Amino acid sequence: MTDWEALRTACDQCHRCPLGQTRTNLVFGVGNPSADILFVGEGPGEQEDLKGEPFVGKAGILLDKMLSCIGMSRTENVYIANIVKCRPPRNRDPLPEERQACLPYLRAQTKLIRPKIIVCLGKVAATTLIDPSFSIMRSHGVWQERKGFWMIATFHPAALLRNENLKRDAYSDLLKIRAKYDELHSSDQKKGPPESDGQVKEETEK
């Protein structure tokens, strides 16, 4: 059994928090398991819960368009997951204790994927992964280097559907993400293949 299979099985059987009792399907994640970019949303909504896949429905269609704008797609260059893998009732924000219960699974996925860039989609992901006091309005589009990852936050596609005025800023954030991806790739090519992946592994284990 691979690590991915073991992780998937553990998630499928998980009842670490009350969200496990009300889910229809666990929403594990989707995308390229070797992607350089990991997108993290907050949690499954109704459609995601029914289909068992993150970002389906209107917000998912918009996310796919956003990725397409920068020459990426959910099946090729990125991996998409959420802070919690089971739907919070009535689409409320996941509670702090639910986020903490589920985070080890996201950390394990991160360790397996080994992305260079982590993009937080919306407030819940940014306050959980970057800083508890993070403000999306003030600090979206700002890079932070943390524990071997380049991290950035932008607006959740559902927020863009509610407020079209945010789309211009979101597009600017996407261009920064594409530019960082290209910059990291070009510096990789100059350096040649990595000698060791120890640092990233160590950091994701913390």
Interface with ligand SF4 (CB under 6 A), residue from 7, 17, 63, 124: 17
Residue pair 38/115 in contact (Cβ under 8 Å)? The answer is: yes
Per-position b or e across 143-169, b if 16+ CB within 10 A of its CB = eeeeeebbbbbbbbbbbbeeeeebeeb
Distance, CA of 159 to CA of 161 (rounded, Å): 5
Interface with ligand SF4 (CB under 6 A), residue from 86, 113, 177, 200: 86
Q: Which residue matches tokens 């959740």? A: 156
| Using rule CB under 6 A, residue 52 touches ligand SF4 | no
Interface with ligand SF4 (CB under 6 A), residue from 6, 15, 46, 142: 15
Which x/- pattern, by CB under 6 A, does the window 91-120 give for ligand SF4? -------x--xx------------------
| Using rule CB under 6 A, residue 40 touches ligand SF4 | no
| Using rule CB under 6 A, residue 14 touches ligand SF4 | yes
Interface with ligand SF4 (CB under 6 A), residue from 19, 108, 124, 158: 19
- How many contiguous H segments (helices) and E segments (strands) does the chain have? 10, 6
Give the interface segment with ligand SF4, choosing from 7-15, 125-133, 134-142, 160-168 (CB under 6 A). 7-15
| Using rule CB under 6 A, residue 84 touches ligand SF4 | yes
